[in-house]
Chains A and B, each alone.
Chain A
Amino acid sequence: NAGVTQTPKFQVLKTGQSMTLQCAQDMNHEYMSWYRQDPGMGLRLIHYSVGAGITDQGEVPNGYNVSRSTTEDFPLRLLSAAPSQTSVYFCASSTRQGAYEQYFGPGTRLTVT
């Protein structure tokens, strides 16, 4: 199993540009989520999904869109990037039973200039 994969690893955008951060998992997990990590902070939840076709907002959803058309994929879209979205983005997945341990991807470092 590859686990949770994220692409790209690094990205530089100009203010106002759009892009999609990709996330995929091969563990057949129902639950997937996106977090951002800013310097000196823990991770904060952006959006999450409890299954294909179902998404919901987390703590910091503004400026981001998500969709979940398959169990495996959960892309995060920035429609009009802003410098405040400069951060490291982590995707995670988990089952919805037991310990609910979340498996994290390696992260995407995004810089918006």
Chain B
Amino acid sequence: AQKITQTQPGMFVQEKEAVTLDCTYDTSDPSYGLFWYKQPSSGEMIFLIYQGSYDQQNATEGRYSLNFQKARKSANLVISASQLGDSAMYFCAMRSLGGGADGLTFGKGTHLIIQP
């Protein structure tokens, strides 16, 4: 079974500061993908970034980067130069890539609030 743990229920950050959202995972699958999603107050799920378990480099997408430490089973999301529009719930998720196609396993999320 897969498990995602997000230990920060809520975070307050000053605008323009960098933010690190923590995510640890547990799986016995040798091949898996790690995802981060943003859910603003409007409710939609917005895909941010993906990291494959065999990717050699950490993934980056604009202001988002994923700090992947495989040995520690962590996949932290880093948001550089935070903006007021970054205020939202953030979910870490994982999926087996071994052909089981059993969907995403989500953490409980971190509520990020950016303060001016």
Contacts and interface: CB of A to CB of B under 8 A. Distances in A.
Report the interface size class on chain B. 20 to 34
Interface stretch (B64-72, B75-83, B90-98): B90-98
Nearest to A102: B104
Contacts of B93: 42-43
A106 B44 contact: yes
A3 B70 CA distance: 33
Interface in A34-89: 35, 40-45, 48, 50, 56, 58-59, 88
A40 to B, nearest CB: 7
B103 interface: yes
Given A99-B50, A100-B33, A104-B44, A42 B103 contact: no
B50 A101 contact: yes
A41 to B, nearest CB: 6
Nearest to A103: B47
Nearest to A31: B101
Q: Chain A CB within 10 Å — which of B93, B103, B109 has the most?
A: B103
A110 to B, nearest CB: 13
B40 interface: no
Given A31-B101, A101-B35, A43 B44 contact: no
Interface residues of A, number: 26
A34 B101 CA distance: 13
Given A42-B91, A42-B93, A99 B104 contact: no
Given A42-B4, A42-B91, A43-B91, A104 B107 contact: no
Q: Chain A CB within 10 Å — which of B44, B47, B102 has the most?
A: B102
Given A50-B101, A100-B95, A106-B43, A42 B50 contact: no
Given A43-B106, A92-B104, A102-B47, 8 more contacts: A35-B103, A35-B104, A41-B108, A45-B103, A45-B105, A48-B103, A56-B102, A88-B43
